[in-house]
Chain A
């Protein structure tokens, strides 16, 4: 029940905040958002699930399964629950939303109550996405995330906000449609072997080889089509190059807290869904087309990194480097080894925290300097030492400095992908992806050096001093979390491995 209570509470909190007076709404939203944080941490402490929520012989934590609607021959249930893959993302969502709300106190000065209301509404939808175990329930939340995001970019964004909001909306909607069609084709091809749209039942049926022919296509063709449609659908969300073009626009135009949520959690929806749908349900297709997927992954890593190198806008740099980081996740998934898939899951959380940290810190700097252009400023370290210190630490985290979460995640992924059995030329792909790290280190160090150090210079007419405490606090907390997860990956690693293992068991060439 606790999942429903948290989602319902967040929805009510969203409504209450939406109509609250602007003055108090920021503090109110933060206070209300602490409830899901506490709730999710409590769930983390109680967590006792084993195995993967979609596969047989598993025990799902905090599960609720009750009939909801029947659609023709298919039962739709309200089925939620968490396993080792979704719980870390669940916790990530609650924590990051709370911190993002605090980081919004400075930059958001118009229509604040609506802003915080939409943030909480988005949190409720995201919690639903990560906990739903029924396709329709999941799809409701998946689509519902778009609505607040559209407004958050469109109303509080930068100069080109309308364009960015529409572009985001159209891209993700078309992607959802492709995914929906692909998934439904798969369900119809399963014929009578499934009687519900529950993800566990469908996953078990597809893995048991129940996929038949449908619409004049054989089982293999249907699986390939479904895989491709879902891969494109989720790939837009991740985003995988070449479906990434909405991302820089959305990030640059979105206000800082929204960028934090976008990079920190919304992108993980795509990789989470890829793992849940494509790689759990159709592992054989994934193995068959492993090379193509790996090429997508490596292209994302390297192309994203080089695009970041060419940017002048700090936010664009972080945005493109997200494309690069998410490429690692895809690589880990397609490696299809315990460490690969586990590392990919770990990277989702780690990158959620680190990219959130990066965006937030850049946001704090922007709040004082009102520019994000690398060429417009230098020597900030003297004026705002704490913020700059955190930014440097975050950048090192991004480069994969040991004892930071990013290092652990990337290390796991590379270990996993190096030893992949299903992916041909795995060492080559791994090496290429590792090259991406070098580029990342290059552009981050370059940008740091130009903006933070040297003599102080600023092209805009603002006085630069230390950032206010409520700006620094969330980034400090995030940095601590990043370090904590780097020092003790075991906080999540054990449960992730436990949940990933069943995915691989019959996988490969089943």
Chain B
């Protein structure tokens, strides 16, 4: 970053701030969660929705501000002495952690603001916000985990509140069913994940990523280690809603409250990728891992299958929310290119392609959350779920529909939002890394995605209304959330430079380049 190095030396590595403050993005979220519990303890009976949503939003913004400040000041990055390792190497603060924390915090902020209206008149508001913040805390910890143990604990901290949040509408059968399915598949994949960890531990005798990488290089138990790696990959596939652990995603996203669907499909997915990137690059580093365990091929298969299956399934859906759910599986497939287009050796392409995947996740955080918040808005208005139900909506709510059109076109990769650049950069970097076929498959899938994304736009703007809408009010919070997402998506088009630079620097640091 271009900020003067004077600022950089003032922070943790220079001694002005104690080292633990490097975790401030996480701490801000955790403290917000506790504060929410406190507020709810003081007056459990009264429903002070504005106070709760406000606290959540402020906490998220504080966390976001810390991430941005640290990123600008160079905390944990090569400019100021490299990553900051904390608590017996359990956690690490580096560019990647800060970058992903920024994603989680901004998504959480949008979700919190939008939930102000979504939760109006519902029970258990304090719990909703507190669980959201706890999940966000877990996600930031996932991004900072430096050992398999802390990775697992962080993953559980992010997952357990998510299960409850999906089943939040406890009178709604769909929501409860979604929560149960999510929980069961989550429990299964957690078990597989932790079994994989134990196998890796058995082979390497350590849980720290760096020790694991070292020990893997000399191990003779290649078979056991390979099974362990495969199982850990399965755990991540669940969290990122990738094939073959994607079955929960459409159900959970459709049944959950729409802001939570946005939260899960943007932030939770990004968290899964954050920890997967770190584990596979640092612990199962390509330069150290035995010949027999070639996880790059595994991710190539996963990427191709995930993006193709997600896109084709999305194209055949009747309801908008389910279409978005499947499309988010497809988007996970694009991001998997970040792990699939890697090559052994210290190639600078590795950092670039993974950085492009991270930048895509960043942009995706805005446009996808925005799209789900729009769904939340339609649910708030009591508009049906299918494409036809959206017909002619633009004549009643042009501003929200304009934002939705922006999200859809940006998701499809048209240059009205940051999605255009992030997708082109991802594919271009895959080509530079020599994986032109991955990029080509991605481009074909992306072209297909324009079909179903534009269906929403066509329904809202071009089709005539088939029924009368009863739009009683224009909820301030939902509109604000959607507008923040829309402005963010649009601004990321001209301002994509700093994002991709930060992401690629952070990713390159991971590869030790």
Does chain A touch chain B in the assembled complex, meaning CB atoms less than 8 Å apart?
yes
Q: Which segment, of B128-136, B190-198, B331-339, B424-432, faces chain A?
A: B424-432
Contact between chains at B415 and A70 (CB < 8 Å): no
Contact between chains at A69 and B420 (CB < 8 Å): no
- Given the known interface contacts A18-B402, A19-B398, A154-B458, the answer about A69 and B415 at a Cβ–Cβ threshold of 8 Å is no
CB-CB contacts of A165-179 with B at 8 A, as 1s and 0s?
110010001000100
- Tell me the number of A-to-B contacts counted with CB atoms below 8 Å: 63
State the majority secondary structure of interface residues on B: helix
Contact between chains at B416 and A144 (CB < 8 Å): yes
With an 8 A cutoff between CB atoms, is A155 at the interface?
Answer: yes
Contact between chains at A69 and B500 (CB < 8 Å): yes
Contact between chains at B447 and A147 (CB < 8 Å): no
Complex Cα–Cα for A433 and B462 (A): 40
Complex Cα–Cα for A211 and B443 (A): 25
With an 8 A cutoff between CB atoms, is A162 at the interface?
Answer: yes
- Given the known interface contacts A69-B421, A72-B428, A169-B454, the answer about A144 and B415 at a Cβ–Cβ threshold of 8 Å is yes
Residues of chain A within 8 A (CB-CB) of B432 are 72-73
Complex Cα–Cα for A72 and B353 (A): 9
Contact between chains at A68 and B497 (CB < 8 Å): yes
Q: Who on chain A is nearest to B440 by CB?
A: A181
Complex Cα–Cα for A143 and B493 (A): 13
Contact between chains at A111 and B395 (CB < 8 Å): yes
Q: Interface size on B (CB < 8 Å)?
A: 31
Complex Cα–Cα for A158 and B428 (A): 40
Give, as a whole number of angstroms, the nearest-CB distance from B486 to chain A.
11
Contact between chains at B461 and A151 (CB < 8 Å): yes
Residues of chain B within 8 A (CB-CB) of A71 are 425, 428-429, 500
- Given the known interface contacts A18-B402, A19-B399, A155-B461, the answer about A70 and B501 at a Cβ–Cβ threshold of 8 Å is yes
Contact between chains at B497 and A140 (CB < 8 Å): no
Complex Cα–Cα for A69 and B500 (A): 8
With an 8 A cutoff between CB atoms, is B160 at the interface?
Answer: no
CB-CB contacts of A47-81 with B at 8 A, as 1s and 0s?
00000000000000000000111111100000000
Q: Interface size on A (CB < 8 Å)?
A: 29
Give, as a whole number of angstroms, the nearest-CB distance from A321 to chain B.
29
With an 8 A cutoff between CB atoms, is A146 at the interface?
Answer: yes
Residues of chain B within 8 A (CB-CB) of A72 are 349, 352, 428-429, 432
Q: Who on chain B is nearest to A145 by CB?
A: B415
Q: Which of B443, B454, B462, B500 contacts A155 (CB 8 A)?
A: B462
Contact between chains at A114 and B398 (CB < 8 Å): yes
Complex Cα–Cα for A305 and B352 (A): 52
Contact between chains at B496 and A147 (CB < 8 Å): no
Contact between chains at A139 and B500 (CB < 8 Å): no
- Given the known interface contacts A69-B496, A147-B414, the answer about A140 and B428 at a Cβ–Cβ threshold of 8 Å is no
Give, as a whole number of angstroms, the nearest-CB distance from A196 to chain B.
14
CB-CB contacts of B427-447 with A at 8 A, as 1s and 0s?
011011000000000010001
Complex Cα–Cα for A165 and B462 (A): 10
Contact between chains at A154 and B414 (CB < 8 Å): no
Residues of chain B within 8 A (CB-CB) of A315 are none
With an 8 A cutoff between CB atoms, is A276 at the interface?
Answer: no
With an 8 A cutoff between CB atoms, is A161 at the interface?
Answer: yes
Complex Cα–Cα for A143 and B416 (A): 9
With an 8 A cutoff between CB atoms, is B409 at the interface?
Answer: yes
Complex Cα–Cα for A173 and B447 (A): 9
15 further A-B contacts with Cβ under 8 Å, apart from A147-B409, A173-B450, are: A19-B399, A69-B421, A71-B429, A72-B428, A114-B394, A139-B415, A140-B420, A140-B493, A144-B414, A144-B415, A151-B461, A154-B461, A162-B463, A165-B462, A173-B447
Can you list 17 pairs linking A and B with CB atoms under 8 Å apart?
A: A69-B501, A70-B497, A73-B432, A114-B398, A140-B415, A140-B420, A140-B493, A147-B409, A147-B416, A154-B461, A154-B462, A155-B462, A161-B462, A162-B463, A165-B462, A169-B454, A177-B447
Query: Which residues of B does A touch, CB under 8 Å?
Result: 349, 352, 394-395, 398-399, 402, 409, 414-416, 420-421, 425, 428-429, 431-432, 443, 447, 450, 454, 458, 461-463, 493, 496-497, 500-501
